[in-house]
Amino acid sequence: MKQHRLAAAVALVSLVLAGCDSQTSVELKTPAQKASYGIGLNMGKSLAQEGMDDLDSKAVAQGIEDAVGKKEQKLKDDELVEAFAALQKRAEERMAKMSEESAAAGKKFLEDNAKKAGVTTTASGLQYEVVKKADGPQPKPTDVVTVHYTGKLTNGTVFDSSVERGSPIDLPVSGVIPGWVEGLQLMHVGEKYKLYIPSELAYGAQSPSPAIPANSVLVFDLELLGIKDPAKEDAAK
């Protein structure tokens, strides 16, 4: 978490908090009022994820009031820099701890999962189950395929799903995470697999979104619907 990011987040939240008393009922009728609430709600969730769940709303409101009213600030700039640095360090330590815990939990999950009947583990560490067999062609790294999928964390939380959206997607076999690149080439058109992807074959320590913690093992229900024919694609253009 960067200092300017934290400062911007606090400033935005303060716009919502300024002039509001926690005991006062807020009207949420007009689009502007609803949007204002949404800003506060989203930023509050974001700050909580960053470890800022102890944000002092009164202090935030006081800061924005002093700035808007052009009053003398109650803390010197070097004190503020020190405070932001402390929060940044705390957030980094929190994320490091969460990352370590996620890696350990993922390792344990894969060790246990590998012992289950029907689960195959490849040389790379990818694990898969054949849910539905078929005898269609297998894609090559250069192919574009059509798939349906549901992506979950190991606790069952869904973070993405073409099935829920009701629309399959086309994607290049070589243009996805390594676990998918390998898994897709094992499949035949018409088959359904369940992939258990180690973090190093997914996103590793880099979290692509708040929905996917760093070092997460990802579980995908994947159906290979078809392989695009380049000749037909070119003819249609």
* Dihedral sign for Cα atoms in the order 165, 170, 173, 177: negative
> Can 196 be counted among the known catalytic residues?
no
- Residue-wise DSSP of 34-62: HHHHHHHHHHHHHHHHTT-TT--HHHHHH
Residue in this structure with the two tokens 């689960």, named with its chain if needed: 119
Q: Considering the candidates 64, 193, 203, 212, report the single residue annotated as catalytic.
A: 203
Reduce the DSSP state of residue 133 to 3 states and report it: coil
* Nearest partner of 134 among 228, 233, 227, 229, judged by Cα: 227
Residue 205 contacts residue 179 (beta carbons within 8 Å) = no
Q: Considering the candidates 109, 128, 196, 220, report the single residue annotated as catalytic.
A: 220
Q: Where are the beta strands (DSSP E) in 72-122?
A: 120-121
> Can 203 be counted among the known catalytic residues?
yes
Tell which phi-psi region holds residue 73, choosing left (phi > 0), alpha (psi between -120 and 50) or beta: beta
CA 217/CA 149 separation, integer angstroms: 16
Measured in whole angstroms, how far is the alpha carbon of residue 28 from the centre of its chain? 30
Q: Considering the candidates 149, 193, 212, 227, report the single residue annotated as catalytic.
A: 149
> Can 109 be counted among the known catalytic residues?
no
> In 10 A of CB 206, how many CB atoms?
10
Terminal C-alpha separation, the chain = 45
> Can 227 be counted among the known catalytic residues?
no
Q: What is the set of active-site residues? A: 149, 159-160, 177, 203, 220
